[in-house]
Every structure is written in C-alpha cells, then in structure tokens.
A and B are shown apart, each in its own frame.
Chain A
C-alpha cells in the first residue's frame, strides 16, 4: 500500500487516471440517483435548450440528454469490464498454456497470436458487426476477440521468465501440482504486468465500442456515448446553431475523459516496470 501511494506521488498521471476512472465508476453506480430522469422516458418537448429542468436540453424525441449522458457511463464501463474480462480469460489461458507447456503447443499458439495480431482490426470488426447486426453483446465479443493476443503474449513471456528463473521447476520438484504452481507463483508475479496491459485494453474497448456505435453499428436504442454521437450527427440540425454544444460535445468529452483515464493509469503503471518512465514523467 505504501509503495502504491508513493507511486501515486511519483506519477501524477496515475493519480489523475485513477481519479477519473473512480469518478466514472461512482457516476455509473449512482446513475439512478444522479440522473434526474429515466434516460429513455419522454420527459420534455423535443430539442429543448438547456434549462434547470433539463441541464443539457432534450434530444429529438424529448428525452433528457443529461440523463442519457449519465446512464451512458454504464454502457462504456460495462463494455470495459466485459471486454477486459474476456481478454483476461483468453489471454491468460493461452499465455499460460503456451508458456508452461512449451514445445509444439507453444509454437502453434504463438503462431495463432501472430495471425490475430496481423489481422486488419477495424475493417474486420466493421465487416462482422454490420453482417451480424447491431448489438452490444456482439460488439463486446468482437472487441474481446480482437484484443486478447497481446495479453497472451505478455503472460507467456512472463511465464517463461519465471520458468527460467527456476521457480516453477523447483516447486514442481517439491511435488507441487501445476495448479498450485500457477496459483502460488505465476499469478502473483503476473498480476502487475497484466494489470497495466488490461487497463489499456479497457481504454481501447471503450473507444472501439463507441467508434462502432458512431458509424451506426451499435444498437441505436441503447443509451451510450457513441450512440449519442451518431444520433446527433444524423440530425441535420446539429449543423445549425449551438445544438451541438449540448448534444454532441458532452458525449464526446465524456468518452474522451474515460479513454484518457484508462490511458493515464496504464502509462502510470508502466514506470514500475520501466523506471525510465518514472523519471521522465
């Protein structure tokens, strides 16, 4: 804990990142309390300008934009959590198996990782999302499938490193089962490295999901920031007057904030493995 606090002091980025994400988590958790209205309820006239009743006005149907913005936090964080979990599951599994088993299995798995890394990510995502149909679940699944290979690589290399330093083999020598070795030695050592990686994954997942929704490949009924951008831009009025200031801008800024929050944490965590960064940031 003390070392964590000291790393916060040494890396303001980490502190800022954590603060941002914490705030978003609180907003998401308290969405029903913070948001004045049900985000899908029709609570005003259409296109009301900001007022005390509707802080960011209302959208084309007459729903409260501020409430939708608040609830949108949930969508983004849910994507971050689920996609990251998926990446964690696949990545750690493949990485561990490759690293521990070695040999032909390692080679095959790593070739698979290479293939996934070489794929044209976004074109493929768009292609699949458009054909399979818009849904949050599909987006999360696709994002998870796109992002796991890096994690697998990292886990594998750490596993190899631990193996070469004899932890594993000596433990095995004492008769420990493979699960015990994994739980006792590998996972604790992997934790910090994987954590940094996963924070980046979370940021990327949030951007990708919003990006898909932005180009019209998200579920337009869902309450999310990318969907808000898409819907605002499809409305010709967005090009006139100042409507964009409260319909387009807040959703984009919220999204940017979330992504920056994750990125700052990721970068902030990095120096602990790479002292150079703690000096330069």
Chain B
C-alpha cells in the first residue's frame, strides 16, 4: 500500500449548457513517504486540478471518478466534509503560488500559524505560540519572536512563502503538495525556498509533490517526474531516464525548447513546439498532442492509446504498468518504447 494511490482519476465539469467537459483523464500515480514526485505541466495541463481533487477542494460542478483515490489506504472519494477536514491541513498540506494572496491580510502571523495547530492538534494556545516560534526558526526566519506579531504586508515574498511553509508543516503532515511554490519569487529566493522544502522533507520524512511548469526546476529537485498535457499524464519516469531520453514528443519538445546558458541566438534558433494547448472545450480526438506533433501519423488522431495498448499487451502486469500513462502511440508502435 502506498501513501497516496491514484488510479484512473477522471474529472469532468458540468457546464450550464448541459455540456460535459473532460478535464482529467486516466490520471494514475502513487507516492510514498520520503519521495519527491515532480509534476510538470503548462497551462491547461490539469496539474492544479489533480491537486485540488486530492484535497477535495473542487467546485460543485466537478465530477470526480476514480478506480482508486486513497490516502493511507482510506478512500478519499467517499469521505464527507468532516472526514476530509481531518485530513486536510493535518495529514495532507498544500502551499500555493502567490504567498501574498494566500495569507490573510488582516491577521498577524501568530494568529495564522496557531490557527492550523489549534484546529488539528490537541494543544493549548500558549503551547501553539511556542511551537510557532520553533517553526519560524525551522524555516529560516530570523527574529521569530518579533515576526510573530507582524502582518503579511510587512513581509517580503520570500519570507511570506516561508511562513506558508511553516503553516503547512505545523501539523507534521505526511504529504505536502507544493503548487508552483516559487513562481512569484525572485530567482535567488527560489533556490532558498526549494532547498528548504527538500531539507524539511528529509527531516520529517514527508512525501513531497512538487508541481511546476518549469521542467528545469522539477528536474533538479525530484526523483520521479510526471509530465502532464491536456488533462493526461503523457510520461512518468525517473528523472535520470527522462533526461537521458524523453519518450513522449511533448516532453522532448519541452526539454528542447527551454533555453540554457549555452543557448545563443546567433548559433541556432530555439526549438519550439508549434500550435497551442487545446482548450477544455476543444479537446481533439485520439492523442491530445497530435495536432502539434512532428511525428504525427493518421492513426494518432483516430485511436486512443489505451485502447490500442490493451489490444497489444496480453499480460495483466503490463497493462497495469501502463495504466494511466499515455505514451506516444507512434513510438510505441515503432517499438521505440
């Protein structure tokens, strides 16, 4: 049993015009204590929706279905709000992109830090404040006693994010989901925050889900990487394997189109993936990436990968292994996989 098990997660939205929009399809992955799973995706990939589905924070018109969505063996889908509240914030924590808008502007840091603790732990207000000071020290904030009484607007972006992290780990969660934690921060602060997350993960043996659009960032801090495109996982492998040879043309495109310090406009233009990500209401048939793919063949736009693979593979274990992973059909057929 894994800490977090997701099998064939589907997410649909019911819109006003009786339309059903498919936001996530066949998303499957697992996570264990001490592991860092990096999820890479651009806008429209569904990476944030996956996080919200796990946390149970989706809007009312969202319909979630999955073969399995369990945390510590308990089914997250069948829980009611009270049960979910037991887990949210206590065992599974999440930090978001812009710390300045995630912190309450009118409450002091102390109030916000102790709020989570008082809600989930059996602890007195005084002890909670003491613990808050410890937490601020742990996340590298100097002068924690003074900072307790300050308001969010008095903090810089980096410090505010550290406070968010302190809040998130205050209940010693088993799983921490970090959704674009450093996108709004300066580059030197980014490194500090990510190093801090890694350090805390090792100390507390937490599971960490690091979500970002920046493949370089994910590659540096994760052991396993999962690439999402248009609501599906298109590739999920260990970091080494993926960087050595990307299997899905989208991953390959992402890796190639990112400039490095060695890029130079006078030497070569940047590799770019043509076209744009399909919108929720305009999902193509067959392979989602086909319209932009340089390997595209006729069958890519007609059949779905899962179907073809089901026909190709006979063994249960193999089907299980590729369940929820949409590899490139063309490459699979060419036996390049």
Say whether A associates with B: no
